[in-house]
């Protein structure tokens, strides 16, 4: 209930974001959400994207090393409660857990004094669109043809040829088997963020969460034999046996590193900082659980962390708000 109240308190502010002028590509949030609905249909009261998911509860303890770069309460060294959600990308509530699609980890850090910090991540180190227009065009391309019930192969081919910014993520997903468990996957912040310290110095960073239990992908045999729904049960069982942990790693940007294009990776060799440990203590089905009603808007940030001008990052907030408003209305 507490998560629902917090999310409801943020709704009016986020819906006002949805009414902002469109992005540089002149794409509206309502337009993108409608395109997602055209591809996957609508499950009333559910998320339009990352519909299939699992809730979890845990805590985070940040490091002094990270506190040098950010004055966020995340890095005070104290225990910060966390509400988490693990998910499959896309709007299919019955998507098989063997699908070669992205996996998500969304975190709501409950900061001292009632503040919130959201982090919404994928298990791919890059996103599949440099601007909202590409994401919209992808949804249009994969919308099922009424005559066949499947996407038109020619439209999909044309999209791939005309949108090179989608290629890196698509190749990444196609070349790797999905994770065997949510607990055995890395998750990337995808975007570049600003860390602001107590002297108001700004450092550009990207973050990722690395599983301390190690990464594990499904084998080819497991990919063929695994049931369509195993990720949730596996995470619940793993957390019953013992806490599941990830280490948060910061990569510090250098002059010239792209900060407004989530499809481009930073060069190897950048400074790495151990920023803290995320511990998931329990997992549960999302129906009625704390994560169900939370809108994991990545622009919900506490003091010490700020957004860059990445057009995809800035667009996510109004798009999430549109979806969230529909969910609250039971649509």
Is the torsion defined by CA of 239, 232, 325, 306 positive or negative? positive
Per-residue burial over 202-238, b if 16 or more Cβ lie within 10 Å, else e, is ebbbbbbbbbeeeeeebeeeeeeebeeebbbebbeeb
Length of the chain: 331
Place of tokens 């791939």: 160
Catalytic site includes residue 118: no
For residue 258, how many other CB atoms are within 10 A of its CB? Answer: 16
Task: Classify strands 103-110 and 79-88 as parallel, antiparallel or unpaired.
Answer: antiparallel
DSSP annotation string for 125-194: SS-S-SSHHHHHHHHHHHSBPTTTSSB-HHHHHHHHHH-GGGHHHHHHHHTSPPBS-GGG--EE--S-EE
- 3-class secondary-structure state, position 287: coil
Round to the nearest angstrom and report the end-to-end CA distance of the chain. 20
State the DSSP H helix or E strand holding residue 235, giving kind and residue range, or none if neither.
helix 231-241
Residue 10 vs residues 4, 23, 73, 229, 257: alpha-carbon distances, Å = 10, 22, 20, 33, 33
- Per-residue DSSP letter, 124: S
Active site residues: 50
């Amino acid at each position: 209930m507490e998560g629902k109240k917090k999310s409801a308190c943020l709704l009016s502010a986020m819906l006002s974001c949805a009414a902002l002028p469109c992005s540089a590509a002149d794409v509206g949030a309502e337009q993108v959400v409608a395109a997602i609905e055209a591809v996957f249909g609508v499950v009333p009261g559910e998320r339009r994207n990352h519909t299939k998911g699992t809730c979890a509860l845990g805590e985070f303890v940040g490091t002094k090393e990270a506190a040098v770069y950010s004055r966020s309460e995340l890095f005070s060294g104290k225990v910060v409660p966390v509400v988490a959600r693990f998910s499959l990308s896309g709007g299919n509530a019955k998507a098989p857990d063997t699908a070669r699609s992205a996996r998500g980890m969304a975190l709501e850090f409950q900061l001292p004094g009632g503040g919130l910090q959201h982090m919404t991540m994928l298990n791919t180190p890059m996103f599949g669109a440099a601007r909202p227009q590409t994401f919209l065009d992808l949804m249009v391309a994969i919308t099922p043809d009424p005559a066949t019930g499947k996407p038109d192969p020619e439209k999909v081919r044309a999209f791939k040829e005309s949108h090179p910014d989608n290629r890196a993520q698509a190749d990444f997903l196609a070349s790797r088997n999905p994770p065997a468990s949510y607990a055995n996957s890395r998750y990337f912040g995808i975007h570049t963020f600003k860390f602001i310290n107590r002297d108001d110095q700004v450092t550009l960073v990207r973050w990722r969460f690395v599983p301390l239990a190690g990464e594990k992908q499904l084998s080819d045999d497991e990919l063929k034999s695994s049931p369509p729904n195993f990720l949730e049960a596996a995470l619940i069982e793993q957390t019953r046996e013992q806490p599941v942990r990830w280490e948060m790693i910061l990569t510090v940007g250098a002059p010239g590193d792209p900060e407004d294009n989530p499809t481009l990776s930073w060069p190897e060799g950048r400074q790495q900082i151990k920023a803290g440990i995320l511990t998931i203590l329990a997992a549960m089905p999302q129906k009625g659980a704390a994560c169900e009603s939370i809108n994991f808007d990545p622009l919900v940030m506490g003091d010490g962390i700020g957004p860059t001008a990445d057009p995809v990052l800035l667009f996510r907030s109004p798009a999430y708000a549109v979806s969230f408003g529909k969910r609250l209305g039971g649509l």
